[in-house]
Amino acid sequence: METKEKNLAKKDVIIACDFNCSEEMLAFLDLFQGEKPFVKIGMELFYAAGPQIVHAVKQRGHRIFLDLKLHDIPNTVKKAMAVLSRLEVDLCNLHAGGCIPMMEAALEGLTRPDGSRPLLIAVTQLTSTDEATMRRDLLIERPLEEVVLHYARNARAAGLDGVVCSPLEAASVHAACGSGFLTVTPGVRFADGEAGDQKRVTTPARAAELGSDFIVVGRPITQAADPVAAYRRTCAEFFGA
């Protein structure tokens, strides 16, 4: 079913707002006078500030990616997604490792009585998990890329809208799941910036070339001396201005 939320611009920059209280989050948003960036609220801020912060940010007119990465039995995830759907977020996510029945239940829970729903994407394998760790801790013997693509196909089969992945995986995910299947990609840095703890990074322009639909950029913007200028630079590089 076509949903309102599917009318979101297909390509955009999402700012990862990894703050630990509402005050910091709202002070950061106050810096933006002329534009309303798409923002990501993750576990840290949501657990610290609760659903009220989602309402407050929404009221200011921002689109929201609520990054809570649900992973539980299908019934629990379905009910939790119904609650998140009422928060009117634009995009939310879960772990593809919860398997197809969990992802299908999540979509059911997320769908409102009028048929609309936020977009739903899946985390495949966390980028903090490498092939050796996957083999050692999860007993998964297949190559990491094959596992990522298999989980992306599962997400597609369950009816989800896309995956969180590395920009380096965006082209293969699109080849496997279709160009309309969203790739939402963290791990983005300016060419002259610090990588920090991210291992495999690409620039906004390179992420666009590789086919990323949405880039998720945190510290290069939130920790910049001038966050608004850093946001504008990210957009200019990503959109090729």
Nearer to ligand C5P, 80 or 122 (CB): 122
Q: Which of 21, 73, 126, 236 touches ligand C5P by CB under 6 A?
A: 126
What's the CA gap between 115 and 130, in Å, rounded?
A: 38
Cβ neighbours of residue 202 under 8 Å, at least 6 residues apart? 167, 168, 187, 188, 189, 210
What's the CA gap between 199 and 187, in Å, rounded?
A: 8
What's the CA gap between 19 and 26, in Å, rounded?
A: 10
Q: Token pair of 87, please?
A: 């928060």
Binding positions for ligand C5P, 60-89, rule CB under 6 A: none
Catalytic residue among 10, 58, 69, 78: 69
What single string gives the DSSP state of each residue in 195-213? -TT-SS-B-HHHHHHHT-S
Nearer to ligand C5P, 78 or 210 (CB): 210
Q: Which stretch binds ligand C5P (CB under 6 A): 57-65, 105-113, 136-144, 210-218?
A: 210-218
* Interaction of residue 218 with ligand C5P, rule CB under 6 A: yes
Cβ 64 vs Cβ 91: under 8 Å: yes
Q: Which of 38, 86, 46 is nearest to 64 (CA)?
A: 38
Q: Which of 74, 162, 167, 186 touches ligand C5P by CB under 6 A?
A: 186
6 is catalytic: no
Coil, helix or strand at residue 16: strand
Q: Which of 183, 198, 202, 234 touches ligand C5P by CB under 6 A?
A: 198
Nearer to ligand C5P, 147 or 217 (CB): 217
Per DSSP, 177 falls in state H
Q: Which of 19, 54, 77, 127 touches ligand C5P by CB under 6 A?
A: 127
Q: Which stretch binds ligand C5P (CB under 6 A): 58-66, 77-85, 216-224, 232-240?
A: 216-224
Smallest distance, ligand C5P to C-beta of residue 43, A: 8
What single string gives the DSSP state of each residue in 99-150? HHHHHHHHHHHH--TTS---EEEEE-S-TT--HHHHHHHH---S-HHHHHHH
Binding positions for ligand C5P, 1-40, rule CB under 6 A: 16, 18
Nearer to ligand C5P, 16 or 103 (CB): 16
Residues that bind ligand C5P (CB under 6 A): 16, 18, 42, 126-127, 164, 186-187, 196, 198, 216-220
Task: Give me the active site residues, please.
Answer: 69
